[in-house]
Amino acid sequence: MARHIDTGNNGEKLAVEMLVEKGYNIHHTNWRNEKSEVDIIAEHNNVIVFAEVKTRSTDYFGDPAEAVQKKKQKMLVKAAEAYIELNNCDQEIRYDIISIVINKGETKIEHIEDAFYPFASELD
């Protein structure tokens, strides 16, 4: 498997472990609907959390969270809407980003809660 795929998979495992330690209930990982995917769908304090995980081997080019731009946000919102409809969810929802840098054996994880708000005019 390509190194960047291994890095991403490792980051997602670390993100799940971190969320579980914080008391989150993990519902799904890598949940797909059509062309959209959500890395982690979890629940915490009766809020459904749709989390995007970005993992890098360096932060030389900036924080990994900066890679979650409007296009990716739009895809995440589309997948979340499908999930909500398919599962008849009536709970509050939230979009989080988990930024991970794994460099030379050192791991830095940042959990950004309410990372963005999906306003239709901004996502077009």
- Tell me: the pLDDT tens digits for 27-80? 999 999 888 899 999 999 999 999 999 988 766 666 767 777 788 888 899 999
Confidence of residue 11 (pLDDT cuts 50, 70, 90): confident
> pLDDT over 90 for what percent of the chain?
54
Q: How many domains does the chain have?
A: 1
More confident of the two residues 104 and 28:
28
CATH number at residue 111: 3.40.1350.10
Q: Are 111 and 64 within 8 A, CB to CB?
A: no
Dihedral sign, CA of 5, 69, 37, 29? Answer: positive
**23 Cβ neighbours under 8 A, 6+ residues apart:** 44
Rounded Cα distance between 80 and 95, Å, is 9
Q: Are 64 and 107 within 8 A, CB to CB?
A: no
Predicted pLDDT of residue 1: 47
Task: Extract the tokens encoding 30.
Answer: 């890598």
Rounded Cα distance between 41 and 63, Å, is 22
Does pLDDT of 88 surpass 60? yes
More confident of the two residues 8 and 43:
43
Range of the domain at 8: 3-123
